[in-house]
Amino acid sequence: MSIKTFLILPHIKVNNANAWSSPYTAGFPSVCAFGGAVHALQRKFNEKGFNNFEINGLGIINHKFSMRTYREGQYSDLSIIAGANPLDKDGNRPSFVPEIKCILEVSLLCELAGITNDDEDEDIEHTANDLLNSGFRIASGDVQPTETPYITRVNTTNEEDENFRKDIIHRLMPGYALIERRELMIESMKLGNDALDALIEHISVIAEPHINNGKVDIERYRKNRGWLVPISTGYAAINELGRATNQRDPETPHCFAEAIVTLGEFKMLHRFHNINSLLWRRYYDANTGIYCYSQYEEESQQTYTGEEDEENSELFNI
């Protein structure tokens, strides 16, 4: 039996979050944005005296999502309302990439380590509530007053754990959990496609015309069922660690990196039977220069070397 402690941050409303999930995609914020938020939460807990407080896993459940977009007419193109910086003293717009904003409501599942005393539960819940409602930010967005966080303990090896159904499934429905579907890209790339073609193959809509009683009907479908979306999960280094001119932190080694984009799926929460299938975990490999969040548990225990480095690193990014 494996009982683990989870801090549930339910129905967090975030206003004006950054919808640039990667240099290639816009929409639901990157997994790294939520990972950075819970890491910041962990550090704030540590500053308040919870020295053993550590978040090892993260679950992301989406309840509502709305991008700031505009459509003039029913058949007009959808335009994105992008935020921009104020004009400078000469009346020119500063040369910054404008941000795309979104409004969302999410619940975050935080797997805790180092919490063994049940007497700490109430203090942790109150502290989390205070931190979330005191200027906390997620994906550069402002967190609005939210529901009170709570702690639950789940048997991660039991497929029919009562606490998982009662404290997570029932309390957080309706909601869509974000999971990783990188295996679909791997299967496509083994057939000869590159990473970008493999990604587009699974998110594109195929339209086929059929003649029925003299009328043309168009059937639209995707290659695979499910709400598949491109998601950003981390970064891959493209050069060795070193120094860069005018880098922000002169003491820390620097390297250039590119975003890792792969396939994800939003899946209705009631379809899950075990909390492990919801959790994202940090993964870092110094040999390949990959830092990302993944749901493939074997990666955290595996180190690639030699020719395997090149083979596996191509599966992560486009």
Domain that holds residue 229: 180-313
Does 249 fall in a domain?
yes
* Phi/psi-derived region of residue 163, left when phi > 0, alpha when psi is between -120 and 50, beta in every other case: alpha
pTM of the model: 0.84
Question: Are the beta carbons of 181 and 263 closer than 8 angstroms?
Answer: yes
Query: Domain end: 153, 178, 203, which one?
Result: 178
Q: For the chain, first and last CA: distance in Å? A: 40
Question: Is 220's pLDDT higher than 60?
Answer: yes
Q: Write out pLDDT tens, residues 138-173.
A: 998 999 988 899 999 988 777 777 888 888 999 999
Q: Which helix (H) or strand (E) holds 201?
A: helix 195-203
Does 10 fall in a domain?
yes
In the chain, DSSP finds a helix count (H) and a strand count (E) of 7, 16
Rg (CA), the chain: 22
Helix axes 121-132, 31-47, angle to 10 degrees: 120
Q: Write out pLDDT tens, residues 67-82.
A: 888 777 777 777 777 6
Does 318 fall in a domain?
no
Confidence of residue 225 (pLDDT cuts 50, 70, 90): confident
Distance in angstroms (rounded) separating the CA atoms of residues 286 and 131: 33
Confidence of residue 96 (pLDDT cuts 50, 70, 90): low
Question: Is the same domain home to 149 and 215?
Answer: no
User: What average pLDDT does range 39-52 have in this prediction?
Assistant: 91
Question: Is the same domain home to 139 and 168?
Answer: yes
Q: Which residues of 110-137 are buried (b: 16+ CB within 10 A; e: fewer)?
A: bbbeebeeeebbeebbebbbebbeeebe
Question: Is the same domain home to 168 and 100?
Answer: yes
Question: Is the same domain home to 208 and 156?
Answer: no
Question: Is the same domain home to 158 and 285?
Answer: no
Q: State how many domains the chain has.
A: 2
Question: Are the beta carbons of 276 and 164 closer than 8 angstroms?
Answer: no
Question: Is the same domain home to 59 and 103?
Answer: yes
Does 215 fall in a domain?
yes
Does 91 fall in a domain?
yes
Question: Is the same domain home to 172 and 264?
Answer: no
Question: Are the beta carbons of 100 and 68 closer than 8 angstroms?
Answer: yes
